[in-house]
Amino acid sequence: VFDHKKNVIAIKVDNSKQPNSRWYSGSGIYRNVWLVTVNKLYVDHWGTFVTTPRVNKDSAAVRIACTVRNEGTDNEEFEIRTTLYANDSSTSGYEARPMKLEANSRGEISQEITIVNPALWSVERPVQYRAVTRIYKKEKLIDEYITPFGIRHFSFDADSGFSLNGRKMKIYGVCNHHDLGALGSALNIRALERQLEMLKKMGCNGIRTSHNPPAPELLDLCDRMGFIVINEAFDMWKKPKNPFDYHLDWDKWHARDLEDQILRDRNHPSVFVWSIGNEIREQSYFPDGKEFPPDSSGLAITRELAGIVHKLDPTRPVIAALDQVEGNTNAVIQSGALDIIGYNYRHLVWKNAQKKWGKKPFIATEAASAFESRGDYFMPSDKIRRAGIGNQNLSDDFTASSYDNFSAVWASTHEESLKEFFRLPFVAGTFIWTGWDYLGEPTPYGWPARSSYFGIIDLAGFPKDAYYLYQSVWTTKPVLHVFPHWNWKNGQVIDVWAYYNNADEVELFLNDRSIGVRKKEKGNLHVMWRTIFEPGKISAVSRKNGKTVLTREIKTAGEPFRISLTADRKAILSDGKDLAFITVKILDDEGNMVPHASNMVKFSCSGEGTIAGVDNGFQASLESLKADSGKVYNGMSLVILQSTTKSGKARIVATAHGLKEATVEVDTQ
C-alpha cells in the first residue's frame, strides 16, 4: 500500500555545470515517468521480444521470447499464455506453454505462433498487432503484459538500397531534436504528433532521433503513422565535445544505457536501424595535420557497442553517423563492426564511399544543413552563400535566405544534396538536417540568435519555402509553389522561383503579361524568372501536355488592417494536456497577408483553456515564448492553446494597436 505520508520519492536535478550539450537539451524531468507495481511472479521489465523470422503474403511466423521473474521465496509452476490480436481486437493466434522457475530467479520461454494472411506494416499502411502475454497459476491470472508489434520484412542492399516487404523504396528522412519549440523539452504528445503530421504531408517517411534515445511516445507515433526510424544512442563517447557532457559518465553508464535503449525499443516496427553514435571524436586521429592509423579506442568502442546491439537485437543493422571521411583513416568504419555506412554531409563524395570503405549499404545520415528564415530572401537568388560562425557572408539582421541559396560551409543547399541522392541508386535513404528548427545551436550566427536555421519548418511550425521543394519530389500530390511575396520597391530586380511537379512547364504572368515559360533542365528541381517589380500581382500556371494542372497567384499587399486567427483543430480533449495551434496572420483590407508586418499582438484567453506559448518563428527573436503577447514575424506568428480538465469552450482574442481584432473558439471535450 502506498502511503504518501510515509513513502517519498525525491529526485534532485543539478544542471549547473555548463555547457553539457551542443544544443538546448532541457532540464529536469521532461519526459513521462511510470511506477509499475507487480506481483512477485511477473513478466520482466521490457521482458518480451517479438520477431517475425518468416514472413510472406500468406503467413507470418511470430516468435515471442518472454523473460519471467520469480522474486518469491517458493519455486513456482505456472503457464504462459500468449494471444495475438489484430487491429480490430480479433484474435489472430494463441499458444500456451508450462514453465517452472526456482525462487529468486529469472528464466526465458519462447513461443511461436503463425498468423494467416498477415497485414504487413508499411509507411503507407502502418498496421499493428498486439501480443498479450498472461501468467496463470492454477487458472488464476497473476500478470499480464502487452506488446504492440508489426509484421514486416526489409533489407538493405549495397547496390540497390532499401526495400520494404519486397518493394524497393527510398527513405525520405529528416533528423529532429526533441524540443517542441515554445513548449520547451517537456513532452507533449499532441505537439509531437503535429510535427510528424506536417512532415508526413511533406512526403517524409523517415526520422533519425538526434542525438539521443527518443521518448517512447515518439516511437509509438512513428509506429502508428508510418515512419522508418534510425534510433540513435550517443552524441559522444569517451572523448568530449563539451566540458560537462556525457563523456564524464561514459565508463560507468554507456553499456547499461545502450542495453536499456535496445530492450525498451526493439519491439517498435518503426525502428529499422540502430545508430551507435553521431560525429564522435574517436573516428580519426590527426595530430599536426598528419594522418595516423585508426584510433585504437575508436576501434574497440565501435566493436563493443555493435556487439551489444547485435546480442540484444540480431534483426536490425547498426550504423554510425560519420563526418571524418575525407581522409583514409576512420576507426569506426575500419572496425568492421558497422552493417551500414553513414555519412554526414559530404554529398560530393557519396559516390566513392563503397569504393573507399568496402561494399556495404549506404545512408546519408545527415544532408543539406541549409539556412533559412521564413519569408526572407537574398538576391540574386542564383548566387549561393556558404557560412560558418563568424563568416563574412552573414547578415546584420540575423536572417537567412529562403531561396535555398545559403548553406553551411561543410554542407550543401537542399537541392544540391537532393540531386545527388536521386542520382545514386545505392543510397538507401537521406536524413535532412533538420525537419524542424530547434532551440539552441543557432548556426551560422551567435547571440542574439537563439535557435537553429536548419529546419525545413520553422520553430513555430510554419513551412519555409523548401518544404514545397521536398513535397514536389517526395510526393505525387500536385504541387505548384511560387515565391517570394510581391511587396518590393518599384523597379527592383526580383527573382521569382517555382517548385512544381506533375507538369511539363510553368508560365509566369506579371499583371497578366507573360514573363515566360520555364521547364526544369539539367536535373534542376526549381525554375526561376528574373523580372522588374511593379505593384499588382504575379500568377503562375503549371501545365501537363498543354492542359492546366495548377494555378497560383500572389498579390501586392496593402497596409495592415486586421488580424486573422486559424486553429489547426476545432475541438481538443479536456485532459489538461491537449493543444490547439493557432496561426496568427496580419492581413490587409482585401485579405492578403502583409509579408513584412511586425505588429505587436496581445492575446487573451477565456473559458476552458490557457495560453501555453507564443512564437513567431524568427531565430533571433528574444521575446519570451511563455508570454501572452509578441510581435509577428514577416506577417505571421503562433499562439498555443492548452485545454483545462473541464469540457466547454476556450476562446482566444487577439488585439493589436490600429488593427481589427480577431477571435477563435475551440471546443474542449
Going by their DSSP bridges, the two strands 579-587 and 636-643 should be labelled as antiparallel
**Active-site annotation holds for 521:** no
Look up 366 and say whether it is catalytic.
yes
The one catalytic residue among 76, 232, 282, 366: 366
Q: What is the rounded CA–CA span in Å between residue 611 and residue 579? A: 10
DSSP string, 79-126: EEEEEEE-TTS-EEEEEEEEEEE-TTEEEEEEEEEEEESPPPP-SSS-
Residue 73 has a CB neighbour count (10 Å cut-off) of 8
- Judge contact between 428 and 171, C-beta under 8 A: yes
Residue labelled with grid coordinates 509484421: 151
Compute the residue count for the chain: 669
Cell of 432: 535532412
CA distance 390 to 636: 29
What distance in Å separates the CA atoms of residue 334 and residue 320, rounded to the nearest whole number? 12
H/E/C letters for each residue in 497-566?
A: EEEECCCCEEEEEECCEEEEEECCCCCCCCEEEEEECCCCEEEEEEEECCEEEEEEEEECCCCCCEEEEE
Compute the half-sphere exposure of residue 168: CA atoms within 13 Å on the CB side of its CA.
Answer: 9
Q: What are phi and psi of 482, to 5 degrees?
A: -115, 135
Q: Do 613 and 181 touch, CB atoms closer than 8 A?
A: yes
Side chain identity, residue 644? T
Peptide bond into 448 cis (omega under 30): yes
Is-contact 423 335, C-beta < 8 A? no
Find cell 511510470 and name the residue.
34
Q: Which residue out of 232, 279, 372, 608 is catalytically annotated? A: 279
Q: Which residues are catalytic?
A: 279, 366
